[in-house]
Chains A and B, each alone.
Chain A
Amino acid sequence: MTVFNQLLSNELPVQPMMPGSVSSSVTCCPFFPRVVLLQVMLLGDSAVGKTCVLVRFKDGAFLGGNFIATVGIDFRNKVVDVDNLKVKLQIWDTAGQERFRSVTHAYYRDAQALLLLYDITNKPSFDNIRAWLTEIHEYAQRDVVIMLLGNKSDMAAERVVKMEDGEKLAKEYGVPFMETSAKTGGNVELAFLAIAKELKHRATQQPNEPKFKIHDYIESQKQKSGCCSLG
């Protein structure tokens, strides 16, 4: 019937779909509900908070204290519920350092979604976003879902990148945008869930079903982070 139903009947763990479509895959397990596998990758300069965002999402905790640089890439799983369907997110946390770039490149093409982070208190990390987007266009799948995140929104006093600048850049590239805080948890869950929803809809969309609009969804859900301090 639909692509999704074809997939459900297929027990292969990784099944590439028709060209141009999202290559998400589905495994069937007799004891658990059907699970959709999605690969998500966190990208951005060193020390923008990629690992912290991931830990906040995965364990609901904040990695305070010392900065621990990720070595190479780090792979973790988290199962989330999207509209009563289990979605297993396989999340690649990458090292921001330049010397790991070649390893990161090798795993770009497997990712269906990319979370691209900058640090709102660090201008160079924002300026590098264009370079990151160029790299993404070179290595990632053509229809990859990209989301731009301005992290550390709790640190209002040290902010150097305005929220409007982030919005403007995101608009220019046509990608959804929000500001997150791994420390308070603001918008972190939403970022991952919006991506999971988008990909799930792409994989399971019925012909007559209305298209999932990730931009609208985010706008309706997101907390205007730091609204009190921004004024």
Chain B
Amino acid sequence: MDGETATGTESWEDCMLAPVDRLRLERADSPTPGLVEGTEPGAGQRSAMFVQAQSFEDLTSEAEEEAQRSAAEENPEGPDEGEYKVQNHDFSSDSRTKEEDVSSEAWRSHKKHVFVLSEAGKPIYTRYGTEEALSSTMGVMMALVSFVEAEKNIIRSIHADGCKVVFLTKSPLVLVGVSRTSQSDKELLRELQYIYYQIVSLLTLTQLNHIFQNKQNYDLRRLLAGSEYLTDNLLHRLERDPGLLLSAVTCLPLASCSRDAVSSSLQAAKAKNLVFSILLAGDRLVTLIRKKDQFLHHIDLHLVLNLVGSSSSFREGEGWTPICLPKFNTSGFFHAHISYLEPASELCLILVSTDREDFFNMSDCKQRFLERLSKRCAYQSLKEALKCPTYPVSQVGIPDLRHFLYKSKSSGLYTSPEFPDVYRSGQEQERLMGLYQDLHSCLHHPTRPLRSFYRCGETENLLAWVTSGFELYLCFSPLASKASAVAAVNKLLKWIRKEEDRLFILSPLTY
């Protein structure tokens, strides 16, 4: 067991050509699959595709550290750095009268508002309504931030009247989330962080800083014009997409030989400045090839997915757009060649280059990829696989199991069956996602994280389990017992192990 672990770890850290078959045999023999990181079902065998990140913590800890650091800097003698929760009930009524002037009851009853403003208090983005109408409201938000800052402290959140107001200061921007959901501050902060990265990916942090250094009261909406829908869509995804919750992406189920053929065709279509080649089927990853030693962060990939999924403008021709991948580098733009393999197809190819003038090289790469793909007949099997991009939970063969999310930590990939009939409606899906989010919050509690969690509800029973190798969230019918749920875990893990070739990308390639 020890020896096996060592092999596994060594091979995916060193990016060597590990003897894949031997490793696969050893892994299959493991009596308790998945208890050690790197050997769980779905773990990559040669090297991970993504930056190894403590996923959720990676997103939030940074903000917390920063907050604490700046609090410490600004408040060298202050003992009460860090946590500063203002319990202020006057605020809600106060701000409400202001909002009433500009907006309706419907506006206020939205479950979650997100605002972005500059440090000068200028509105940059609001999820609902127009920024102009909310300039005074945003002024109040900035006043709150400044007021607490003047006391050499940092405002984190306000809890009032069933409403949470969460602040994220990322100079030169301030992001504010106002939520009536049961999400924790940390979850809300994570979402604001995503919005922040979305804005950085459009402009780069260097440009943002430059603009506001030169002109503090610059109206950033001028530069962000026409991109609001990206932020809107990202917020929508945050409510619906398990990938954003799990800090992982999901793959198109595809026989491993077909996937390998697609991957190697894509690998062969390389160019000097090409850093990442990504083939998507809708929101699902078909394959991802990266330059050796360069890793893509899952946040960056989600920003790419959001860009591609939100814009129908890539449907017809070949798109060429600057994109900053903030987790890779906040200071510069990559240039992405984005095109669908066929106009009506779900298959979208994204070629990320470092050179602004590389359009024709990338266009040529795409042609070479297509030629190889059709030569190897892989295109046909890929098209076949597109017809069933998902699978019913009944394939697993656990009677009371309705739905699950399984994430392999070392590969950063997750798998999940289609929603069963009970959760077909958008509203029900969002409710289930809300339940998963709750479980996720409990497992990743900042001070008291849990290993496993079982919850009985009126409409479903839920079980969550996290190990060093995987995260698992299961949803059972309300009639299932705890014992059967626990027994189901092993059966499910065995099933995923059996299907991992198809559900995950086990041998990611580099150029």
> Interface on A for B, CB 8 Å cutoff?
46, 51, 55, 58, 68-76, 93, 95-100, 102-103, 106-107
Task: Give the distance to chain B from A35, nearest Cβ to Cβ, in Å.
Answer: 17
Residues of B within 8 A of A95 (CB): 226, 321
Separation of A100 and B312 alpha carbons in the complex (Å) = 18
Task: Give the distance to chain B from A213, nearest Cβ to Cβ, in Å.
Answer: 32
Judge whether A71 and B319 touch: CB under 8 Å.
yes
Contact A106:B225 (CB < 8 A) given known A74-B316, A76-B316: no
Which stretch from B42-50, B137-145, B355-363, B370-378 is at the chain A interface?
Answer: B355-363
| B200-251, CB < 8 A from A | 202-203, 222-227, 229
Judge whether A74 and B313 touch: CB under 8 Å.
yes
Judge whether B314 and A71 touch: CB under 8 Å.
yes
Judge whether B335 and A103 touch: CB under 8 Å.
yes
A-B contact count (CB 8 A): 74
B389 within 8 A of A: no
- Closest residue of chain B to A99 (Cβ to Cβ) is B223
Contact A99:B203 (CB < 8 A) given known A46-B225, A106-B356: yes
> Interface on B for A, CB 8 Å cutoff?
202-203, 222-227, 229, 307, 311-314, 316-322, 335-336, 338, 356-357, 359, 363
Judge whether A46 and B320 touch: CB under 8 Å.
no
Judge whether A99 and B356 touch: CB under 8 Å.
no
Judge whether A98 and B225 touch: CB under 8 Å.
yes
Residues of B within 8 A of A71 (CB): 307, 311, 313-314, 319, 321, 338
Interface SS of chain B: mixed
Task: Give the distance to chain B from A12, nearest Cβ to Cβ, in Å.
Answer: 14
29 contacts between A and B (CB under 8 A): A46-B225, A51-B313, A55-B316, A68-B312, A68-B313, A69-B226, A69-B227, A69-B311, A69-B313, A70-B313, A71-B313, A71-B314, A71-B321, A72-B336, A73-B319, A74-B316, A74-B320, A75-B359, A76-B316, A76-B318, A93-B317, A95-B226, A98-B225, A99-B223, A102-B322, A103-B321, A103-B356, A106-B356, A107-B359
Judge whether B319 and A46 touch: CB under 8 Å.
no
Residues of A within 8 A of B357 (CB): 106
Judge whether A76 and B225 touch: CB under 8 Å.
no
Judge whether B319 and A74 touch: CB under 8 Å.
yes
- Closest residue of chain A to B316 (Cβ to Cβ) is A76
Judge whether A46 and B321 touch: CB under 8 Å.
no
Judge whether A75 and B317 touch: CB under 8 Å.
yes
Residues of B within 8 A of A73 (CB): 319-321, 359
Residues of A within 8 A of B223 (CB): 97-99
Residues of A within 8 A of B338 (CB): 71
- Please list the 5 inter-chain residue pairs (A to B) with the smallest Cβ-Cβ separation, ordered nearest first: A72-B321, A76-B317, A69-B226, A75-B318, A74-B317
Contact A75:B226 (CB < 8 A) given known A99-B202, A99-B203: no
Known A-B contacts: A74-B316, A76-B317, A98-B223. Give 10 more (CB < 8 A): A46-B225, A46-B226, A69-B229, A71-B307, A72-B322, A74-B317, A75-B319, A97-B223, A99-B202, A103-B322
Separation of A93 and B314 alpha carbons in the complex (Å) = 11
Residues of A within 8 A of B222 (CB): 98
Separation of A46 and B222 alpha carbons in the complex (Å) = 11
- Closest residue of chain A to B357 (Cβ to Cβ) is A106
Task: Give the distance to chain B from A152, nearest Cβ to Cβ, in Å.
Answer: 18
Residues of A within 8 A of B227 (CB): 69, 97, 99
Contact A72:B226 (CB < 8 A) given known A99-B202, A99-B203, A106-B357: no
Task: Give the distance to chain A from B104, nearest Cβ to Cβ, in Å.
Answer: 23
Residues of A within 8 A of B336 (CB): 72
- Closest residue of chain B to A75 (Cβ to Cβ) is B318
Residues of B within 8 A of A102 (CB): 322, 356
Separation of A96 and B313 alpha carbons in the complex (Å) = 13
- Closest residue of chain B to A96 (Cβ to Cβ) is B226
Task: Give the distance to chain A from B18, nearest Cβ to Cβ, in Å.
Answer: 39
Judge whether B226 and A103 touch: CB under 8 Å.
no
Task: Give the distance to chain B from A227, nearest Cβ to Cβ, in Å.
Answer: 32
Judge whether B359 and A100 touch: CB under 8 Å.
no
